[in-house]
Copies of this chain bind each other. A is one copy, B any other.
Amino acid sequence: MKWMAALACVLVTSMCLAQAAQSFRPASTNVWGAQYPRIDDAGRVQVRVKAPEADSVRLNFWSGPKLQMQKQPDGFWTVTTEPLVPGFHYYTLVIDGAEVADPGSQAFFGGSRHASGVEIPEPGTTFYSVQDVPHGQVREVWYHSQVTATWRHALVYLPPGYDSQNERRYPVLYLQHGGGEDETGWIRQGRANFILDNLIAARQAEPMIVVMAYGYALRAGESLPEPAPFGSPQMWQAMQHMTSTFEDDVTQALIPFIDKTFRTLTDRDNRAMAGLSLGGMQTFHITLRHLDLFSHIGGFSGAGGVLGDSAGKFDPKTDYEGAFADAAGFAKKVHVFWIGVGTAEPERFHARIGGLHKNLDAAGIEHIYVESQGTDHEWQTWRRALHDFAPRLFRTRKTRS
């Protein structure tokens, strides 16, 4: 009990000074009552897990340190990391070869599993914090897709005031998760609702609806391939294979459902799509083949298949059925064409996104390229991307369809 610790402090001052100096506190991403993982102001993370009969326990930050944990006499294993950069970091524990989630953490869907995560605050940064401003609502919807012949789950952010302004119609951003994640990622890990709440309250973004769909789709009757380990070539192959099915689901089932269910503006000028990593690839695939439906495009650490290939294979005349062939026409149609990457991401993402940027420049294709300083292929990069992208949407109306 806290008061017992306080009592102990009165008795043993030195202990308390040592505690204060370290000042570790439970992470905001912990489950109710869990004291670990703990973080300090420098961004160090202390992890602790009970595994009395284990021979080896490792801490595995997916984009960070991989550390052997130390066994304590009480059967708990502990370790403290070096300072981590701010943001949300996925991690797992490897207990005698079994890769599992930490019971002390909330569960976040990534890597095709419910993994653990820890949030390191960024000092002075509040754009993704819950603040005392009007809040939109995140709604869960189920829609029946004739493409997949299944009920599909999506999350929909409705901006503040949606319920009280009964006549108003809103533009729509379709916002996709990455490979191995699902439709909950942009809310749970990305805090997209708070990012939009804060931008809208500051009048920096138009009130908009944000639709977060489940990015995997198999056609009616099609079977799921045998399991492919996360990150394996087979997995990426399966996910790419599903992109054309997802394209049909979005254009034939999801968009009609959203436009029927919510007070949307249904013309192309008022419809955007963006995604991170795999979701960026899907965004390019879907929007560039359906410029009759979309006028704003965002690729966050991810872009089209052949696009951005560092080998320089990009051919603006033929790729994507010639969507880029007419640079002036493209600029007229596409009001925002945004790509970005974190400076600390692995080289292949730089090569791909930075290469795409150069290729687009060389071909005279109007676009916005933004680098996120010091962030990896992680959610802090994508929170910043959304925070930069959303204010640009639905502001100018170069064309009317």
Contacts and interface: CB of A to CB of B under 8 A. Distances in A.
A75 interface: yes
A49 B107 contact: no
A97 interface: yes
Interface in A99-120: 99-101, 103-107, 109, 112-114
A52 interface: yes
Interface string A79-102: 000000000000001011111110
Number of copies: 2
Interface string A126-156: 0000101001011111101000000100000
A134 B262 CA distance: 15
Contact of A101 (B2, B114, B135): B114
Given A1-B226, A50-B99, A135 B142 contact: yes
A112 B32 contact: yes
Contacts of A93: 98, 100
Interface residues of A, number: 62
A325 interface: no
A131 to B, nearest CB: 9
A351 to B, nearest CB: 29
A198 B113 CA distance: 31
Contacts of A105: 114
A182 to B, nearest CB: 7
Contact of A97 (B32, B54, B144): B54
A321 interface: no
